[in-house]
Amino acid sequence: MSATTHPRGLFDAQVISNRQICREHFRLVLSVKDFPAAAPGQFVQLGCRDPHAPPDEPDEHEWIDADDPGLRTRSLVAPTPLLRRPFSLAGAEPDPQRPGCTLLEIIHRVVGLGTARLAGLREGDAIDLLGPLGNGFPLPRAGQRAVLVGGGVGIPPMIYLARALGAADVGGVAVCGVTTADLLPLTWADGVAADPQGLPTRCIREFADFGIDAVVASDDGSVGVPGRVTVALQRVLDHLALPAGDVVVYTCGPERMMRAVTEMSQARGLTTWVCMERSMACGMGTCQSCVCRVNDKSSDDGWRYRLVCTDGPVFDGRVLIWD
Amino acid sequence: MSATTHPRGLFDAQVISNRQICREHFRLVLSVKDFPAAAPGQFVQLGCRDPHAPPDEPDEHEWIDADDPGLRTRSLVAPTPLLRRPFSLAGAEPDPQRPGCTLLEIIHRVVGLGTARLAGLREGDAIDLLGPLGNGFPLPRAGQRAVLVGGGVGIPPMIYLARALGAADVGGVAVCGVTTADLLPLTWADGVAADPQGLPTRCIREFADFGIDAVVASDDGSVGVPGRVTVALQRVLDHLALPAGDVVVYTCGPERMMRAVTEMSQARGLTTWVCMERSMACGMGTCQSCVCRVNDKSSDDGWRYRLVCTDGPVFDGRVLIWD
Amino acid sequence: MKNPLTTASGTSGYAFEYGDFVDLRLLGAFVTKSITLHPRKGNAPPRIIETRAGMLNAIGLANVGLEAFVAEKVPQLREMGLPVFVNVAGTAIDDYCQVARRLNEVDVVRGLELNISCPNVKEGGISFGTDCGQVAGITSAIRAAAPDKVLVVKLSPNVTDIAATAAAAVDAGADALSLVNTFTAMAVDVDRRRPMLSNGNGGLSGPAIRPIAVYMVHRVYSQVARKHNIPIMGMGGIQTARDALEFLIAGATALSVGTALFVDPTAPVKILDGLADYCRRHNLSALREVIGSLQFPEPGKGYKSTYA
Amino acid sequence: MKNPLTTASGTSGYAFEYGDFVDLRLLGAFVTKSITLHPRKGNAPPRIIETRAGMLNAIGLANVGLEAFVAEKVPQLREMGLPVFVNVAGTAIDDYCQVARRLNEVDVVRGLELNISCPNVKEGGISFGTDCGQVAGITSAIRAAAPDKVLVVKLSPNVTDIAATAAAAVDAGADALSLVNTFTAMAVDVDRRRPMLSNGNGGLSGPAIRPIAVYMVHRVYSQVARKHNIPIMGMGGIQTARDALEFLIAGATALSVGTALFVDPTAPVKILDGLADYCRRHNLSALREVIGSLQFPEPGKGYKSTYA
Ligand SMILES: Cc1cc2nc3c(=O)[nH]c(=O)nc-3n(C[C@H](O)[C@H](O)[C@H](O)COP(=O)(O)OP(=O)(O)OC[C@H]3O[C@@H](n4cnc5c(N)ncnc54)[C@H](O)[C@@H]3O)c2cc1C
Ligand SMILES: Cc1cc2nc3c(=O)[nH]c(=O)nc-3n(C[C@H](O)[C@H](O)[C@H](O)COP(=O)(O)OP(=O)(O)OC[C@H]3O[C@@H](n4cnc5c(N)ncnc54)[C@H](O)[C@@H]3O)c2cc1C
Ligand SMILES: Cc1cc2nc3c(=O)[nH]c(=O)nc-3n(C[C@H](O)[C@H](O)[C@H](O)COP(=O)(O)O)c2cc1C
Ligand SMILES: Cc1cc2nc3c(=O)[nH]c(=O)nc-3n(C[C@H](O)[C@H](O)[C@H](O)COP(=O)(O)O)c2cc1C
Ligand code: FES
Ligand code: FES
């Protein structure tokens, strides 16, 4: 079991902005001092506490408790929710305003208590996080083309990956699937239309900025091409028509989607990097809660568990065993 | 065990204002529709939840959970703190802006999680409350003079009592004790000085408005007359120099203070109404958590417990047994 | 019972104390505070303290006693128009039996809930509920003393194997089981170095205990109640319809709401609405269909992961 | 141990996994994850779920096994410069003994913490910890197998009387006791009508259980540990210095932080600071003065009310 090789730590973060970007998604930008170098595919564990809740430190109480030291303690201190929540980095770049700080971008969908707390964060609020965690995506070799397949809340790490591809001058195509139009956490580029056949164009700002064409697919056909992301992916791969060794597929999203994507791209002999998701308690490799199954010839029954938080979240599609 | 005779209920309340009035006290004004008639000494049980926390109702989640009904539930719904917190009414009058509504005034000191939550309420927020609870102060007979002795967070019900005395055209004097100047949750009347000897003047707006003179005492001498509230009370009673039957004493504050006040006024033969405080779970007479000891000749050992929430919070000083 | 919702003993008084806040007639049944043979003053305050997602109580079985209950409260209960269960407590089998015999004569009382588990009273309450022999002894004694009433035995969670005490109660004649009572627990005032409650220990209730209570209900259901066709009244931290469903799916037939009543006296009614919604959403013709419907994985197997 | 703070088994890995976040050398000791004779894959995911103020886990004793532990992890533990306790688990006394005999030879291991209470593994783990005879049997077997190591027996809270299992362990040769392990519990996915954890049941930890854990520590301290002068390692929901003080005052000599490490890996260090503050505020020359200092009221008496 390899530990991450990146340094990781507990950091205080300041909320720079927190904006609702579609019906249920928010883009949260944090500034963090001395944050270690991070890579696409890595994630952070956010403390989803209410920054407006009372502090843990007892106040002074001169009157009621003049002779009542019991009043100086507080038994109800109840951060809610208890555990941190993991979120992929959708970006990490030097903070132009604050020397020594990194701007972290997180795009999250409100699905429960923790994400609802995050949605309530306001500029200037303080939260804390553990990170950067996990291994990150291996970038393509020079000359290879990247195909980024994101579904729903699996889209954010693809945004960060696009930035890294741009910096490494690697070309690529993004295929993004959503259930319906107002759950698309991306921005349409001004004046660039989506291709009605589902061929990639510079239509999504987050990708176009880094020279990457994109296709959007929606289950209900309310935006982009109708149907599952795999339908769009098939068309894109057919259209690219490159030799297997020249294409690398990256995928993140619901497990059923990633399985279908992996099976499709493996049938074509393409290298596939899969960014897995599991319920996590620690995020740092200590609790053993975040396992997924991988092939392991050395094991009696041919498989073993690996930790999504430290061995992953990115795994080679060939080693994963889908449940 | 008598139940309250007032009707009581669970009510939604809207925050009209919430203002910090000294270092640790806030004045919270709520508007409540169809609130029953209330009286000084009665209290409400506030739900100290964060109105900005996510609602209990599950949202829709089309994507992640397209086939995952589990996602439609939320197991973490965690109102914090769990139990309601009791607060005396510092006032209750018809809401001039909203027909059929009552404006409730609560003055509370931040001592823990629940009160810290209350401190964070903003205009327009929604909370809920149980009330009006408890029995309230019996008013003096015509011709009697009321002496209101409040300490710290025991001052708020005295403000409401002053209003009722004003309406009933009964005269009175208020004696308010605090530990130190910036913990006085009252307003100095413009241009009226406190008497350096500790004799009552129209110096506190909340009382002067209803024709009641006031004295402030502070333990550290930083405001008003130095020393415990009983020192000031002694002087006031000496100064009033009325026959025992003409004075009624009302007291609310820390138990040691109320005991000293009660002993002093009983030594003078004065009727004394004591507004007790106990940890409460329900506030409505079901949980039996809020007991205090009272004399009971019919009991083998001469005493029994009564419930502060429904038999009180106001008790005749003669029946109370101090622990 | 026209629906599964009841109030938990000790959290809604003897009768109408709580009727200002909710129409009690909407409930399936009413469960009274524990009644003992003689009146009891109970413990000195403080009797409650809030803890993380829960509360401790050490009321000490404060109650008016059997005679005052029959004289003053029973007439009120008659007005209620609901099945009434009287919770019975005591410190010796003989006390319990005297109370049971007397209540057996009171027509408005549908059944007795036997509190053999209250952990607050030092004189013995705890031992009845934690020893199978004692559970059997007291259950059969009460069974004989109140032959005309439905006998519900309320189990203590402070045991190694709650299925064993459940089986002892059922074998000795219990018609139904209720669980769980509170967990013995303590909170410390660290500055004074003494317990927060004057009694020392108290009983933990509220959402904090819910996962343990759900487990225990399922254990009793699958090991004892199902095969004997004995209904379970489930409780422990129920606040919402979702919580209630956890208990029903784990095997409870009825549900009691305790601590949550202090937070929201209308909780049982809201839960009823939520249960009706659930039935609609899941196309169930009756809530009954979910009772005990938990698909528990084979030992050591697990089921297919949620991530599939 | 230079201070009372340790990490709870299973929440901080084998060695340095967690060293990026805090200087482990500041702790009083390090407790490893449970080690079994053979490697174990553990349960299928999901293995954890959050509950109100707590979490359930059903890791299933996933671990690398004794040989890989000795070969790969022990060299790292040597670097740590801290007393190391290895938590030992198994499904048969013989497994435990093989692990204990091997670890008895490993110099860097100061002591063994015997996990006889993990509720997740169906093959027997639970039964060792809930039956006094079994507790005595396994304790004396390990005592003999690892004569050179400090023997800490970690008690299960899923028992009627934790003082009885504590006494059994002490009589059989335990040098110290640790408590509590997790409470067997369950959370239900009400839409799918199956448990949230693939294993079905899980173990409840975190702040929700703290009042029960504090009670149990006090019970074991006052009934067993004090008179035998046996140190207790207290745990169960410790997050802050205030929480830690509850355990110390109730009778714990050392403290383990588990679930709170996931929230704040630096919690043990913050707790140490808070304990130092407390000593200053209360003019204590040593923290030792608070251990077991709880003034527990006489049965049925109560102490003078806080309202006095
Ligand atoms: C490595 C990693 C990276 C992630 N990156 C992102 C990201 O960039 N953006 C984003 O929006 N989300 C991301 N997630 C998912 C995110 O962590 C969860 O949505 C979040 O933890 C939910 O917290 P909550 O408190 O809002 O919901 P909870 O209240 O914890 O859960 C609400 C409901 O959703 C269910 N649920 C929550 N999470 C999952 C899940 N993962 N699978 C199945 N059911 C679940 C719960 O069981 C519950 O029923 C990532 C997860 C992982 C492991
Ligand atoms: C009938 C009644 C009327 C009241 N009226 C007012 C009022 O008008 N204004 C006001 O500010 N307060 C009033 N109080 C007190 C108020 O209810 C408490 O301050 C409040 O419940 C504290 O909640 P919290 O969550 O902020 O503190 P918690 O977190 O619950 O408590 C913080 C600390 O204070 C201690 N503590 C809290 N309350 C008390 C207490 N009453 N006695 C001793 N220790 C205590 C706790 O044990 C803890 O250590 C009244 C109480 C009663 C019973
Ligand atoms: C304040 C209080 C008083 C209680 N009194 C009794 C009682 O008199 N008899 C009894 O059998 N159970 C009593 N209980 C236990 C409850 O009936 C119930 O079993 C327990 O609280 C768990 O449910 P909850 O979490 O919904 O509160 C009491 C609980 C509380 C909180
Ligand atoms: C994820 C997790 C894994 C655990 N693994 C073990 C283990 O392997 N062996 C063991 O004896 N206890 C294990 N425990 C129990 C803890 O050591 C501790 O006894 C319990 O969690 C209570 O403390 P806490 O509330 O501070 O977490 C585990 C607990 C958790 C939360
Ligand atoms: S989340 Fe704890 S090991 Fe991965
Ligand atoms: S607070 Fe429940 S009876 Fe008074």
> Is the CB of A9 less than 8 angstroms away from the CB of D41?
no
Contact call for residues A216 and A184 (beta carbons, < 8 A):
yes
Q: Tell me how far apart the alpha carbons of residues C183 and C204 are, in angstroms, rounded to a whole number.
A: 5
Average pLDDT over residues B76-84: 59
Reference A73, options D269, C193, D87; nearest CA is: C193
Identify which of C50, C51, C190 has the shortest CB distance to residue A73: C190
B150-195 per-position pLDDT tens digit: 999 899 999 999 999 999 999 999 999 999 988 999 999 988 888 8
CA distance B114 to A53: 10
Q: Start-end ranges of CATH 2.40.30.10 in chain A?
A: 9-52+75-133
Q: Are B309 and B42 within 8 A, CB to CB? A: no
Residue A118 to residue A108: CA distance in whole angstroms: 9
Average pLDDT for C181-189: 96
Q: Where are the alpha helices (DSSP H) in C118-178?
A: 125-130, 132-145, 162-171
Nearest CA in chain B to C45: B291
For residue C180, say if its preceding peptide bond is cis, omega within 30 degrees of 0: yes
Contact between residue B306 and residue B294 where contact means Cβ atoms under 8 Å apart: yes
Per residue in D21-71, pLDDT tens? 888 889 999 999 999 999 999 999 999 999 989 999 999 999 999 999 999
Atom of ligand 6 nearest to the CA of B287: 2
C191 → closest Cβ in A72, A256, A277? A72
Q: Searching chain A, which residue's CA lies closest to the CA of residue D282?
A: A69
Least Cα distance to A145 among A270, A317, A312 occurs for A270
B79 pLDDT more than 50? no
> Where does CATH 3.40.50.80 sit in chain A?
145-273
Q: What is the pLDDT of residue D210?
A: 97
Q: Do C51 and A75 touch (CB under 8 A)?
A: yes
Residues from chain C contacting residue D207 (CB–CB below 8 Å): 52-53, 208
Determine contact, residues A264/A274, Cβ cutoff 8 Å.
no
User: C159 to chain A nearest CA, in Å?
Assistant: 27
**What's the pLDDT band for C126 if we cut at 50, 70, 90?**
low
Kindly determine whether residue A323 and residue C304, on different chains, have CB atoms separated by under 8 Å.
yes
- Write out pLDDT tens, residues D2-19: 899 999 999 998 878 888
Q: For ligand 3, is residue C202 a contact (CB within 6 Å)?
A: no
Q: How far is the CA of C258 from the centre of ligand 3 (A)?
A: 6
Say yes or no for a CB contact (<8 Å) between B61 and A111: yes
Q: Which residues of D touch C53 (CB under 8 A)?
A: 52-54, 207-208
Class of domain B145-273: alpha beta
Contacts of C among chains (3+ CB pairs under 8 A): A, B, D
| pLDDT tens string A198-237 | 889 999 999 999 999 999 999 998 999 999 999 999 999 9
User: Which of C194, C305, C307 has the highest number of chain A CBs within 10 A, making it the mutation to test binding with A?
Assistant: C307
Pairwise pLDDT comparison (A222 vs A251), residue with the higher score: A251
Which has the closest alpha carbon to C274: C264, C84, C221, C225?
A: C264
Q: Which residues of D are catalytic?
A: 118
Residue from the list D187, D190, D308 with its beta carbon closest to the beta carbon of B255 = D308
The mean per-residue pLDDT over the stretch A310-320 comes to 96
Q: What is the pLDDT of residues B190-220, one digit of tens each?
A: 888 888 888 899 999 999 999 999 999 999 9
Task: Give mean pLDDT, residues D160-173.
Answer: 96
Residue B63 CA, ligand 1 centroid: distance in Å:
12
Catalytic residue positions of C, numbered:
118
Pocket probe for ligand 5: among A45, A46, A135, A288, the residue whose CB has the most ligand atoms within 8 Å is A288
Structure tokens at C44: 């000195």
Q: Which is the closest atom of ligand 5 to the Cα of A281?
A: 1
Is there a contact between B35 and B92 (Cβ–Cβ < 8 Å)?
yes
CA dihedral C10, C12, C14, C17 (to 10 degrees): 140
Contacts of A9 (CB under 8 A, 6+ apart): A36, A130, A131, D20, D21
Which amino acid is it at A207? F
Closest CA to B78 of C58, D214, D181, D207: D207
Q: CA dihedral defined by D284, D285, D287, D290, rounded to 10 degrees?
A: -50
Pocket of ligand 1 (CB under 6 A): A 43, 81, 85-88, 107-109, 111-115, 153, 156, 277-278, 280, 313; B 70-71, 73-74, 76; C 306
Q: Which residue has the higher pLDDT, B79 or C102?
A: C102
- Which ligand lies nearest to the CA atom of residue A49 in the structure? 1
- Does A277 reach chain C within 8 Å, measured CB to CB? yes
Mean pLDDT of A285-297: 95
| CA gap D57, B127 in Å, rounded | 35
Which chain D residue shows the shortest CA-CA distance from A8?
A: D20
Cβ contact, residue pair C21, B292, below 8 Å = no
> In the predicted model, what is the mean pLDDT of chain C?
91
Confidence at A242, pLDDT banded by 50, 70, 90: very high
Q: Is D268 in the pocket of ligand 4 (CB under 6 A)?
A: no
Architecture of the domain defined by C5-290: Alpha-Beta Barrel (3.20)
When comparing pLDDT for A27 and B113, which is higher?
A27
Which amino acids bring their CB within 6 angstroms of ligand 2?
A: A 70-71, 73-74, 76; B 43, 81, 85-88, 107-109, 111-115, 153, 156, 277-278, 280, 313; D 306
Is the confidence at residue C125, as pLDDT, over 60? no
Residue partners of A283: CB distance under 8 A and separation at least 6: A43, A45, A84, A86, A130, A133, A290, A309, D262
Best residue among A56, A60, A64, A73 to mutate for probing ligand 2, ranked by most atoms within 8 Å of CB: A64
Q: Are strands B247-252 and C176-179 parallel, antiparallel or unpaired?
A: unpaired
Q: What is the pLDDT of residue B207?
A: 96
pLDDT at position D11 is 94
ipTM for the predicted complex: 0.91
- Average pLDDT, integer, range A269-296: 96
The residue with tokens 């696409």 is A40
CA separation for the pair B193, C274 (Å, rounded): 60
Out of B77, B113, B183, the one facing A62 most closely (by C-beta) is B183
Is the pLDDT assigned to residue D302 strictly greater than 60?
A: no
Rounded CA-CA distance B322/B258 in Å is 10
Residue among A60, A67, A74, A77 whose CB has most ligand 2 atoms within 8 A, to mutate: A74
Closest residue by Cα to residue C247 from C282, C287, C188: C287
pLDDT score, position A59: 31
Q: What is d(CA D24, CA B9) in angstroms, rounded to the nearest whole number?
A: 55
pTM, whole model, 2 decimals?
0.92
Pick among 1.10.357.140, 2.40.110.10, 3.30.710.10, 2.40.30.10: CATH of A9-52+75-133: 2.40.30.10
Does A2 have pLDDT greater than 90?
A: no
The model's confidence at residue A51, banded by pLDDT at 50, 70 and 90, is low
At residue B7, the pLDDT reads 83
Average pLDDT, integer, range A181-194: 88
Of the residues B289, B293, B298, the best mutation for testing chain C's interface (the one with the most C CB atoms within 10 Å of its CB) is: B289
> Could you tell which of A115, A121, A280 is best to mutate to test the pocket of ligand 1, judged by most ligand atoms within 8 Å of the CB?
A115
Which of B25, B60, B63, B222 to mutate: most A Cβ within 10 Å?
B63
Nearest atom (ligand 5) to Cα of A308: 4
Q: Phi and psi dihedrals of B74, rounded to 5?
A: -140, 115
Residue of chain D minimizing CA distance to B74: D189
In a 10 Å sphere around its CB, with 0-12 CB exposed, 13-18 middle and 19+ buried, how is residue C126 labelled? buried
What dihedral angle (degrees, nearest 10) is formed by the CA atoms of C191, C194, C197, C203?
A: 110
Q: Which residue of D has its CA nearest to A288?
A: D59
What is the Å distance from ligand 4's center to C224 Cα? 30
Partner residue facing C200 (CB), from D246, D297, D306? D297
Residue ranges of domains in chain C: 5-290
User: CB–CB of C48/C179 below 8 Å?
Assistant: no
A68 C-beta neighbours (distance < 10 Å), count: 17
| pLDDT at residue number B53 | 55
Is residue C305 over pLDDT 70? no
Which-ligand-closest: CA of D236? 4
Burial of C262 (0-12, 13-18, 19+ CB in 10 A): buried
| Residue numbers in A near C50 (CB within 8 A) | 75-76
pLDDT in the model for residue B290: 97
**pLDDT (mean) for C147-160:** 96
Chain C residues touching A323 at Cβ < 8 A? 304-305, 307-308
